[in-house]
Structure 1
């Protein structure tokens, strides 16, 4: 799992040039792979480094929360620890951050140490009661 799994081609073929919200689903390691605290601790180090990078590209962290239970659907494979919704002005801004040397060298190691699994789903707004921007 890593930047090597980034679906740049799929994101570039979206045909949508406007804002996107990335839905992040995360499952943490009990212990950080580098031995420095828990998986959650490693994720907090990752988040502290990435939030300024998101903001520098015109994005913002909209919402985070603990996943509590599967309310509809099969629980197998859908057990997550944490979710985050991150707004970017475009998929290109997301790609720019994820492929930057700063992200790959400083941020991604903490994400890898903390997350046993991390899935990011790119969404385009259909409806929202919130106004971003």
Structure 2
């Protein structure tokens, strides 16, 4: 469930990178392929929505192993870093009728668990912080 109250408490104009941690169902809940297949359908819809709001997909990768910290509960399948020019842009997308109608059903069908952590830049070798 989207943490609207927590997001509204942040600086709405600050750029953010969303750390996405995903664990997929073996089979999509709608029966249309695997959880990964449903996530690919979700991504095909959301990437243009992100770009329309000035954001971009920075990096994605398959999670391989926990290198440090507790293993229990940290068996993620996939990680994505998504830049948004503002918290407001992220909220606009996530609460849009198009997202709720067209994209979110694929996410729910594909992901057994999906955690999104808001990050604010403290340092980047690419500048800006």
With normalisation by structure 1, the TM-score equals: 0.93
The runs of at least 4 consecutive aligned structure 1 residues that moved more than 4 Å come to none
Match of 1:84 among 77, 80, 84: 80
Q: Quick check: 1:117 aligned with 2:113?
A: yes
Residue 17 of structure 2: which of 21, 28, 34 is its match? Answer: 21
For these two proteins, the number of residue pairs brought into alignment is 128
**Matching of residue 9 in structure 1 with residue 5 in structure 2:** yes
Aligned residue in 1 for 2:64: 68
2:51 paired with 1:55: yes
User: Secondary structure at 1:111's aligned position in 2?
Assistant: helix
> What value does the CA root-mean-square deviation take over the aligned residues?
1.1
| Structure 1: gaps spanning 5 or more residues | none
Deviation per residue, 1:95-126 (Å, 9 max, x gap) = 00000000000000000000000000000000
Counterparts of 1:90 and 1:107, CA distance in 2: 21
- SS of residue in 2 equivalent to 1:85: strand
User: Structure 2 stretches of 5 or more lacking a match?
Assistant: none
Distance 1:130 1:27 in 2: 30
Distance 2:36 2:112 in 1: 11
Could you give the per-residue CA deviations for residues 74-102 of structure 1, whole angstroms, max 9, x where no partner exists? 10001100000000001110000000000
TM-score for the superposition, normalised by structure 2: 0.96
Instruction: State the distance in 2 between where 1:110 and 1:16 align.
Output: 27
